[in-house]
Structure 1
Amino acid sequence: MYKKKKKFWAKHWDVILLDTLSALVALIIALFFRFEKILFWNVIPHEYIYENILIMIVFASILNAALRDPYTGIVHRNKWQELKAVVIHSFINLCGILIFLYAFRYSNRISRTVISLWFVLMVLIMFASRIIFKRIVRMRKHDDSLKSTMLVIADSSTINHCLSQLAGSDYVEYKVVGCAIIDKNWVGKKIQGVPVVGNCDSVFEYIRTNVVDEVFIDGKNRYSEELLAERLTDLGCTVHISLIHTEHLMKNRTIEYYGDYITMTTSMHMATNREAFCKRLMDILGSLVGLLLCAVAFIFLAPVIKIQAPGPVFFSQTRIGKNGRRFKFYKFRSMYTDAEERKKDLMDQNEMNGLMFKMENDPRIFPAGHFIRKYSLDELPQFWNVLIGDMSLVGTRPPTENEFVQYELHHKARLASRPGLTGMWQVSGRSDITDFEEVVALDTEYIKNWSLGLDLQIIFKTVAVVLKGSGSK
């Protein structure tokens, strides 16, 4: 029987428990240093608050692990990488507790010394406990008696690459005890220190007389591989069949199932379910706040728009979203109602090289419209697009239909993610960018390197840009 490997955050329950205990012990020690009466809990001021903090530390630690999955590759980290990971983990725990204290109005009744000391001690204790724990784990990983034995079966042309990937890996749960070459008789030789123990005919005899838990097959003939795997499975071995060499594929890949097909799926960037959930949650919360701001702005902007440029307060237009989807895009109107018709006459004054239109002193903008656009107030109604899922807070700016039909093939890459209210190029000196290809490059860079941290960084930069009034012109 083969135990399927866990692939979600809870597989690191031991480290989560260790980190939680480290955080709890750190708080208890901090209380002792501050009050020196830890044995007499009821004489500590507001002791019930600290009891609640102890409980919240448990929830914060579990939530921290579930949303971030900070333990991937923990065994392979060096001490400096581990210290950085511990500081980040402890800081997020601290933020969680501070949010709790402010939410329940406990902040004025808590000792700042205790909280500060708790953070420092948490980093030190957590770092020390992780280092000790990792040494124990590594010792166990190097104990071959605890590992399953693996036999590698491959062609003479692929055996070297196969062994370099399997036998040379550190901290794996198996040990390669031998290899079999199915197209040549190299029995008795050693390849990368691994003995050749059989060929196509004699490999079954080796399996019969030796301990073999798992077999890895890497060959060229898929039909013969499947027949070989079937026979080996009948012998009680767990069989792994190589589907494809991935060294030349993109780094973002995963195995998926479509009907009875097993596929290798690759993409520009792959977000985990956890990351996608957090991004959407951030979009919903941010759009609700944005719509409140939009409602306030409407009270002041609507009369001005109606007076200076009679017509609708809102401007709507069909834009192109993710992978070519069309949706209705909303803005506060900052131009005269005949702006689209007049655009044709102004194309020769376009300051952008490519498929976007930009003109510094655009005559289609009415007087107050300059103010509206300078501080990006016209963008506020797009929070509705974010709320209903057409857009995201951060992404790539959606092109118009006229721009989209002129796209070249490589331009389509910037539509690989949901369009955003703001994005990489908007906070990278967009008023100075005059080449559409540079916009495409920045948008593509954003998609390839996307992370929740990058989104937050862009949001903060956007706020700064808007407050400075260096928005679109």
Structure 2
Amino acid sequence: MYRKADKGWLKHCDFTLIDAICLQAAYIAAYFIRQGILWPYASQLFRNMALIFLFIQIFVTFFGESFKNVLKRGKFKEFTETIKHVSLIILIAAFYLFATQKGKEYSRITLVTTGILYVVASYIARIYWKKYLLTRGLEGKGKRSLLILTSKGMVEEVVQNMLNKNYERFHIIGVSLIDADWTGRTINGVAIVTDKNGVAEYVCREWVDEVFINLPKDMPLPQELMDDFIEMGVTVHLKLIEMGMLKGQIQHVERLGSYTVLTSCINMASWRQAFFKRAMDIAGGMLGCILTGILFLFVAPCIYIQSPGPIFFSQVRIGKNGKRFKLYKFRSMYMDAEERKKELMNQNRVKDGMMFKIENDPRIIGGKRGIGNFIRNYSIDEFPQFWNVLKGDMSLVGTRPPTVDEWEKYDLHHRVRLSVKPGITGMWQVSGRSEITDFEEVVKLDKEYITEWRMGLDVKILLQTVRVVLDRGGAM
């Protein structure tokens, strides 16, 4: 019976268990260094914190996908991943102690020492466990035997590809050609063991777990042979399309209706990543709405005194996949700003009019020293967008949503900006903000964000945004 490769964190439950042991060992050692107690489990305080550590470690491993591609990581990459994993666990533990007001009961020195010892122990354990697993794989233990069925024109390429990229999952026992009899020859060290006529008998006689069929597009599939293999209990792998033929960075096979399809896309978020991003948006949106309410008390009178009218400005913007929504801001311009925009288009600093930015915009309330310029310099005008984030129209980090007239000018490659939720801030804002005048550069940075997206990148951009705003590096 075919055993499907494990997915997700269960795939590396061995690493998870070893990591948990390293954490507990590090905590015991740190407690001994600080308190001089060799067996601290007698202490109720220690047992409680040890249990909290265990829960946090499992939580971070599961949601953070800490051991994804662990067997393919080099030593330096493993070291950086270990530091990130441990740092997150220690930070969450510190936050827990602060939030529950139990910080006085636990030594901060013990917490820091635990983190340092944990990094060392976990890193060494990962390296040696990977070495053991790879050695075990090279010796052939636990590997499945695979027979390759292909054509004479493709045999070298297919064999070399499988040798390079099977990650020690299979032991390739031989090759069978469907359109020639080269029995006895070797291709890249792998023997051609039979031809089409003898392959069924070979599979029946020899120890073959699985067969991989890779044929040219113009060659019919050997349906009868495939049925025979399955009848014998042998697993059949049939090539659909070679990974890399489509441009998408992420490619995986799934079911679509009654079809088996290769799905390709620019990036893909797991449900855990999507959950965390939305949770961060909700938390940030709630905090931002509270701050918006406080700012309203000070900003609203200033706006109304200098330019009587609505305090908030709303405008239809284009969101993810073309969805239209109303974006909200504190009004920083006079009431006729949109009408005057056409008159000022010749001063636009952005090429092709794909965005609108001009120096010393006369539509801003109060000019250079007015309230409009002040709230724009410090991005205070953007705060009402936290309501958009809370509603789900926007995210804290993403691409900036275009206006309807800007969107109508988009070329095909510009549409990539709309493949994610728009954000209050983003990569191009922290990379130059209003100083960027080439829209293609904006698209390039947005595409880089979408392609390389991960939760850590969002956190990095948020921190950079705070720094840029405080430096008054140009309006958002």
Alignment TM class, shorter chain as reference: over 0.9
Q: Does 1:33 align with 2:30?
A: no
Q: What is the aligned counterpart of 1:187 among 183, 186, 196? A: 183
Matches for 1:108-119 after TM superposition, within 5 Å: 108-119=104-115
- Other-structure match for 1:239: 236
- Other-structure match for 1:228: 225
Q: Does 1:362 align with 2:361?
A: yes
Q: Which amino acid aligns with 2:397?
A: V
- Other-structure match for 2:7: 7
Q: CA 1:406/1:145 → structure 2, altered by over 3 Å: closer, same or farther?
A: closer
- Other-structure match for 2:277: 279
Displacement after TM superposition at 1:420 (Å): 0.7
Q: Which amino acid aligns with 1:296?
A: I
Any stretches of 5+ residues in structure 1 without a counterpart? Answer: none
Displacement after TM superposition at 1:132 (Å): 2.8
Q: Does 1:298 align with 2:301?
A: no
> How many residue pairs were aligned?
469
- Other-structure match for 1:123: 119
Kept in 1, the 8 Å contact 2:8–2:68? The answer is no
| Deviation digits for residues 10-46 of structure 1 (CA, Å, limit 9, x no counterpart) | 221111111111111111112222222334766xxxx
Deviates more, 1:456-465 or 1:297-306: 297-306
Deviates more, 1:64-73 or 1:78-87: 78-87
Any stretches of 5+ residues in structure 2 without a counterpart? Answer: none
- Other-structure match for 1:58: 54
Q: Does 1:144 align with 2:140?
A: yes
Displacement after TM superposition at 1:170 (Å): 6.1
Kept in 2, the 8 Å contact 1:101–1:107? The answer is yes
CA distance in structure 2 between the partners assigned to 1:146 and 1:372 by the alignment: 64
Q: Secondary structure at the match of 2:286?
A: helix
Q: Does 1:249 align with 2:272?
A: no
Q: Which amino acid aligns with 1:12?
A: H
Q: CA 1:406/1:76 → structure 2, altered by over 3 Å: closer, same or farther?
A: closer
Displacement after TM superposition at 1:385 (Å): 1.0
CA distance in structure 2 between the partners assigned to 1:90 and 1:200 by the alignment: 54
Q: CA 1:40/1:443 → structure 2, altered by over 3 Å: closer, same or farther?
A: closer
- Other-structure match for 2:23: 23
- Other-structure match for 2:390: 387
Kept in 2, the 8 Å contact 1:225–1:241? The answer is no
Displacement after TM superposition at 1:406 (Å): 1.4
CA distance in structure 2 between the partners assigned to 1:138 and 1:349 by the alignment: 63
- Other-structure match for 1:70: 66
CA distance in structure 2 between the partners assigned to 1:309 and 1:3 by the alignment: 70
Matches for 1:84-233 after TM superposition, within 5 Å: 84-169=80-165, 171-220=167-216, 221=218, 223-233=220-230
CA distance in structure 2 between the partners assigned to 1:41 and 1:410 by the alignment: 60
CA distance in structure 1 between the partners assigned to 2:213 and 2:129 by the alignment: 35
CA distance in structure 1 between the partners assigned to 2:5 and 2:436 by the alignment: 48
Root mean square deviation, CA, Å: 1.8
CA distance in structure 2 between the partners assigned to 1:223 and 1:41 by the alignment: 67
Q: Which amino acid aligns with 2:101?
A: R
Deviates more, 1:425-434 or 1:210-219: 425-434
Kept in 2, the 8 Å contact 1:179–1:197? The answer is yes
Q: Secondary structure at the match of 2:255?
A: strand
Displacement after TM superposition at 1:427 (Å): 0.9
| Deviation digits for residues 92-125 of structure 1 (CA, Å, limit 9, x no counterpart) | 2211211121112222332233222222221222
CA distance in structure 2 between the partners assigned to 1:205 and 1:22 by the alignment: 51
Q: CA 1:291/1:181 → structure 2, altered by over 3 Å: closer, same or farther?
A: same
Q: Secondary structure at the match of 1:167?
A: helix
Q: Secondary structure at the match of 1:311?
A: coil
Q: CA 1:309/1:166 → structure 2, altered by over 3 Å: closer, same or farther?
A: same
State the TM-score, normalizing by the size of structure 2: 0.94
CA distance in structure 2 between the partners assigned to 1:357 and 1:131 by the alignment: 53
CA distance in structure 1 between the partners assigned to 2:282 and 2:27 by the alignment: 35
Deviates more, 1:424-433 or 1:332-341: 424-433
Kept in 1, the 8 Å contact 2:151–2:179? The answer is yes
Kept in 2, the 8 Å contact 1:141–1:173? The answer is yes
Displacement after TM superposition at 1:222 (Å): 6.6
State the TM-score, normalizing by the size of structure 1: 0.95
CA distance in structure 2 between the partners assigned to 1:20 and 1:329 by the alignment: 46
Kept in 2, the 8 Å contact 1:374–1:472? The answer is yes
- Other-structure match for 2:328: 330
| Identical pairs, percent | 42
- Other-structure match for 2:257: 259
Displacement after TM superposition at 1:460 (Å): 0.7
CA distance in structure 2 between the partners assigned to 1:264 and 1:41 by the alignment: 52
Q: Secondary structure at the match of 2:314?
A: strand
Kept in 1, the 8 Å contact 2:433–2:473? The answer is no
- Other-structure match for 2:411: 408
Kept in 2, the 8 Å contact 1:291–1:381? The answer is yes
- Other-structure match for 1:433: 436
Kept in 1, the 8 Å contact 2:40–2:46? The answer is no
Q: Which amino acid aligns with 1:397?
A: R
Deviates more, 1:352-361 or 1:173-182: 352-361
Kept in 2, the 8 Å contact 1:167–1:175? The answer is no
CA distance in structure 2 between the partners assigned to 1:388 and 1:40 by the alignment: 48
CA distance in structure 1 between the partners assigned to 2:450 and 2:74 by the alignment: 29
